[in-house]
Structure 1
């Protein structure tokens, strides 16, 4: 890229090679016509973003400061660049290898190490990451990882989605092949819900950061913002996060005046309600990630909002479209529920949930057997699923029937 003197935007360099131009044109045509390819490029860019690397960030900012010092770049552009980089989480380059092979001459001085990654039941864990210093390896469908290592002491960590991280260490003092089993402990349902809700809150925070940065830029640049690569990239990122197709949206925005301004305009009331609904989502960890819509309304009133069903439902639908929450759940015989994270319920658990709603959020096995005319085994299966998903809490008693409580169906005074 080059920076024009007395200009506050960057231009693409003109290519010195016609062959590169032709290849770039072909790639551009292919990308524009292939949605899958565009998504793959975005995913790869998110994982390998130069602006997230400590060394790259330092070099870019130092270079920009030199340009400001030389009078080539305006100070406000440097400020904008610093804000842009500050809004991107810092990460490190991680070299991914499935197998590592060494040169033939080294084989006599190394040890063949095999890791077997499995869960507590002995089932292999596919796609687990093993980090050994700068080396990152990934388990195959059998939960196996194989690598050749020299004699030394090693410390590492194993990670996999849905499991707790596991630290491990080992010593290689000979060239004899060794097998190292690694048992990963599954996250509880509450832990998975908590992690998912934390992810949703972080995603919302990132959306707000990008939108605010673009809004300020739009106030300064106006419609020309769409022609400035850095801002266009940030806008594309936000549109992608919100489930829109950036290329078609930007093309339409160039033709339709006011589209960008409307998109970036912040409604303080709506923003505040969204923020507090996300706080309620965090609190729903104890209710399996769901709560009654009526409870959401009561809590928002307690926070000082004078709102109604229509406004809150509109915001909830908007947040669901953006992927921030799962949405409003409708089950026959049950008051409207707000599902902050996915809660997969088949017909039987839904019928039990409907019965619990009619009984102020509490049932016993006997209640369900009598009301639904099911066998005890069928009732237990449905209730066990509700307990596993965190929707119900089991309260065992030796003197009375075991009770099943549904926190999401009960008000705070119950």
Structure 2
């Protein structure tokens, strides 16, 4: 049976990054940059005032000294005068500072001007106070967006400041989500005897959206070959297809054989881990009818198994297709807050509460009774990797952890 690291390698070998395309900046939010983007100017492009006040020379701020006010400058205006001994220029927030300025004194620290002269309520001010120097935020030639970086709204604003009306990005992958099983009913219906609500589709939809991809809900397919074929054919039109359930070894676990019938080539089935052992991965190759391949993940039906497999493998695959660093979620080191005993012979990705205090992470296993226990997992914001061993993990021991909600 494959290890988790071997499964990562096979995913990377079989998923090729998509080609980049150029789009309007207004259409690039949440997308991944396909190249490094550098600044073509300094920011700010001039020394500017950070607040309303007066541009001064710090050596002139002394007890009982009055300064002559030469002019007033608002944002967008250019100074006409330079500062000389015992002079000041009134400036507004964002205004360009005149030559000779080495500080801006706040309007609150200035007494009411009399005959174009001002005095102060303070006896001194340090050089650089209330000034943003040219290039302090960003310098010409500096990389401001790295290739593979997701364009969150602050980056979009920065690129607008740089005048980048178009950017090269990797297209948003589409991810079809299909839940399978005779026992499932929609979330807005009351389950009958032996039935459960379709929580997996909603959960996977949220995980797909969180990853920056476009989720395409396909509803529920019954454990029937004809129904599965119809739904899966639709799902294969997307870049990815996620199926929940039907990949284990039960009588009605029909998904692998239906996928094979529809031309999806199996890459691996089952990984040495808990929860999530039955995971299936395959590829429907590109052909004349389908210009792009479709990558298919068969996820276990138990909700926490499906959740963990998405965070480990599907997120890794989505990063790969957008040419991002191939990590599912960033692994960190954390101190256990309590002892924990691992049972069984498989590595366990255990739901946990991960916190960050005093420059270190701590991890507390939640009360969790297995892969069907969504209530327990809902108290977690990440997971701990416990590898099987004879002795229990001790309080304060260092473990590998992943957080679920800070990827983007």
Scaled by the length of structure 1, what TM-score is found? 0.23
Instruction: Pick the structure with greater CA Rg.
Output: 2
Higher relative contact order by CA 8 Å / sep ≥ 6: 1 or 2?
A: 2
- The structure whose residues are more often strand, as a share, is 2
Scaled by the length of structure 2, what TM-score is found? 0.23
